Amino acid sequence: MTESWRDDSKSFLRSNMKKKVLPTFYGGIIGDMLGVPVEFKKRGTFRIEGVTGYGTYNQPPGTWSDDSSLTLCTIESIVENENADGLMRKFVKYAEEGYWTPFDRMFDIGIATNQAVSRFRDGLPAEACGGKGEYDNGNGALMRIAPAAFLLIHHKNFAEKAEIIKSYTEITHAHPRSIVGSILYVELLIRLYHNATLQESLAAIKSLFNEHYEYGHSYERELAHYARIFDAGFFSLPEQEIKSDGYVVHSLEAAIWCAGSSGSFREAVLKAVNLGDDTDTVGFIAGTLSGIMHGMEGIPAEWLSGIVRKDKIDALLERFYLFCADAAE
């Protein structure tokens, strides 16, 4: 009887993990591929209503960018039980060989990430490669950190989780503002996994910061930069109040606003991409949040089938959700 209960429990955990993992990452990749053709274009100068191609990078429809590539590198690294140096070696392969790209060639990489990769090539350990200055707060770590949520899904100690999230972030972005952004995003995904609403999740996360970081702590100070997402009227802000550039704070704000002010996955990711500017990253983050909120049934089938190299991604995500379910037992 005990063994039967354990088998049922394991089966349920795997099923639930699959139910959450797949729409999170397919949602992100779809948001990314919708945004690739119009990255850097200004709001109001275009209108995306579905999958298109070419544009900014002259890539075919269904092409995803560094947001998805570095996320897939992170997923593979977790499954393979690699340390930070192992993950950075994958980032080097991405930059040099087009590893985990749609067509085996890299066409986009963020400045801070590229600098971190160069430092690693020069012999620095991964944990020392991330930029520490205030101008190093781009969204290059935020866009790839989502897999950490599923690694930590049943981890109860907030301070320990924050340290693990920091270790994944600091290899490319080591300023406390970027680390706080990663913590906020990962904690949001964890709570959405457990079926909390976006508003409930944000309130709970703010309380966690208040409980764990006393006045003057660097994370407590940096949280102030994200203050708007905790305001009661945040999701009612007009579009013109939302910035969608590559600054970590703006990217996270924009993605949360799109997810929270939309009634469907389709609406959220189209809203994110049509904000303009850093369209692929805001689309990716909004896609992960909306994906986990609305599930696979909420993702348009024609968008899903349009993902380049989807079969390869399918196989990796299966390995990942099984790994995370087994780790959570």
Give the C-alpha separation, 142 to 249, whole Å.
Answer: 10
What's the mean pLDDT in 172-191? 98
Q: Is 262 marked as a binding-site residue?
A: no
Q: Give the model's pLDDT for residue 182.
A: 98
Residue 7 pLDDT greater than 60, yes or no: no
The verdict on whether residue 65 carries a ligand-binding annotation is: yes
Fold of 2-328: ADP-ribosylglycohydrolase fold (1.10.4080)
C-alpha 63/C-alpha 210 separation (Å) is 41
Burial of 58 (0-12, 13-18, 19+ CB in 10 A): exposed
Euclidean distance between CA atoms 250 and 278, whole angstroms: 10
- pLDDT for residue 6: 53
The answer to whether the annotation marks 245 as part of a ligand binding site is no
Residues with Cβ within 8 Å of 251's Cβ and at least 6 positions away in sequence, in order, are 139, 142, 143, 244, 245, 278, 281, 282, 285
CB 248 within 8 A of CB 181: yes
Indicate the residue type of 208.
L
Neighbouring CB atoms inside 10 A of 23's CB total 25
Give 325's strand partners.
none
What's residue 12's pLDDT? Answer: 84
Q: What is the pLDDT of residue 1?
A: 43
Would you say 95 and 109 are in contact if contact means Cβ atoms under 8 Å apart?
Answer: yes
Give me the percent of the chain exceeding a pLDDT of 70.
Answer: 97
Q: Give φ, ψ of 283 to 5 degrees.
A: -65, -40
Q: How far is CA 50 from the centre of its chain?
A: 21
What single DSSP character describes residue 247? B
**CA-to-CA distance for 284 and 162, rounded, in angstroms?**
22
Q: What does the pLDDT look like over 54-105, one tens digit per residue?
A: 999 999 999 999 999 999 999 999 999 999 999 999 999 999 999 999 999 9
- d(CA 193, CA 187) in angstroms, rounded, equals 10
pLDDT at 22 over 90: yes
> pLDDT tens, 197-230?
999 999 999 999 999 998 889 999 999 999 999 9
Where exactly are the structural domains of the chain? 2-328
Asked if residue 8 has pLDDT above 80, the reply is no
Q: Is 52 annotated as a binding residue?
A: no
- From the list 237, 249, 243, the residue with the least C-alpha distance to 279 is 243
231 annotated as a binding-site residue? no
Q: Could you read off the pLDDT of 108-149 as tens digits, one per residue?
A: 999 999 999 999 999 999 999 999 999 999 999 999 999 999
278 is in an annotated binding site: yes
Q: How confident is the model at residue 5 (pLDDT cuts 50, 70, 90)?
A: very low
Other beta carbons within 10 angstroms of residue 252's beta carbon come to 25
% residues pLDDT > 90 (the chain): 93
Whether the pLDDT of residue 4 is over 50: the answer is: no
Say whether 173 sits in a helix, a strand or coil: strand
Structure confidence at residue 19 as a pLDDT band (50, 70, 90):
very high
Residue-wise pLDDT tens digits, 263-295: 999 999 999 999 999 999 999 999 999 999 999
Q: What are phi and psi of 178, to 5 degrees?
A: -70, -40
